[in-house]
Amino acid sequence: MEKSEIFEKMTEICRDVFEEESLVVTESMTAADIKNWDSLTHLTLVNELETTFKVAFTIDEVTGSKSLGELLNALMKHISEK
């Protein structure tokens, strides 16, 4: 799966989880940039990504990924290792 394709899917998931239909996301975005991104929606986002792409993040990836780009990189890594 191409990175752009994954990011597109990830954008959809972010719009759903952060409940903002027209949300435009970039890799550099962090919780500071998105209104509904708190510790709980972070976990929901992680779960949605895991379920959609059938991967499991490590605890370091869950806590350590502060930006969407970091989550994307972790995701890419797991997908490539499958």
Closer residue to other proteins, CB minimum distance, 17 or 25: 17
- If we measure between CA atoms, which residue out of 59, 11, 16, 57 comes closest to residue 73? 57
Q: How far apart are CA 3 and CA 31, in angstroms?
A: 22
Question: Under the criterion CB under 8 A, does residue 48 sit at the interface with other proteins?
Answer: yes
Closer residue to other proteins, CB minimum distance, 2 or 21: 21
- The β-bridge partners of 62 are none
Q: How far apart are CA 79 and CA 73, in angstroms?
A: 10
Question: Under the criterion CB under 8 A, does residue 74 sit at the interface with other proteins?
Answer: no
Closer residue to other proteins, CB minimum distance, 8 or 19: 19
Residues that bind other proteins (CB under 8 A): 16-17, 39-40, 43-44, 47-48, 51, 56-59, 62-63
